[in-house]
Homo-oligomer: A and B are copies of this chain.
Amino acid sequence: MTVIRTEPLTAAAFAPFGDVLDASGTPDKIINQGLCGRYHDRARMDFGPDGRVGISIFQAEARALPYTLDLVERHPDGSQAFVPMTADAFLVIVAEDQDGTPANIRAFLTAPGQGINLLRNTWHGVLTPLAAPGLFAVIDRIGSTPNLQEYPLRQPRTVIAG
């Protein structure tokens, strides 16, 4: 089975797929009498002409490495952000698109304190926390379309720690 090694999640490596949501670098603004740093407007969100933004809570079962990946999916109508509500790392699987097909699948391992925003129509694996309770705030498109394309992998991959 083809093996994918995890990479650390960095803004530069992840940029083609989306945004890393964390407090790295210098805050854009200091507020609340010096007691709070604001890292401003870090997600490239896009919900299309007929959608609106919503906040939902996802609770997903914890997975472990090695992890068998047999499906990726994408949301053609909107971006989707995942904010972990615990300090645990999670697995972020993404892929490029080649003529409507996922290609060059990559797996990123977050550091505590990192969330992500997936650009609209980016191939990705389902939510894969690596620790219970697997609790996330998800900021994505609310709309009436199915907004989901699934792609089962004929050849599953094994994701292992990099």
Q: Interface of A with B (CB < 8 Å)? A: 21-23, 27, 31-33, 35-43, 45, 53-61, 81, 83-87, 113, 115, 117, 126-127, 133-135, 137-139, 142
Contact = CB atoms under 8 A, between A and B. Distances in A.
Contact of A38 (B21, B33, B56, B81): B56
Given A32-B127, A35-B126, A23 B135 contact: yes
A45 B54 contact: yes
Given A35-B60, A126-B35, A137 B21 contact: yes
A45 B32 CA distance: 23
Contacts of A23: 57, 59, 133, 135
A60 to B, nearest CB: 4
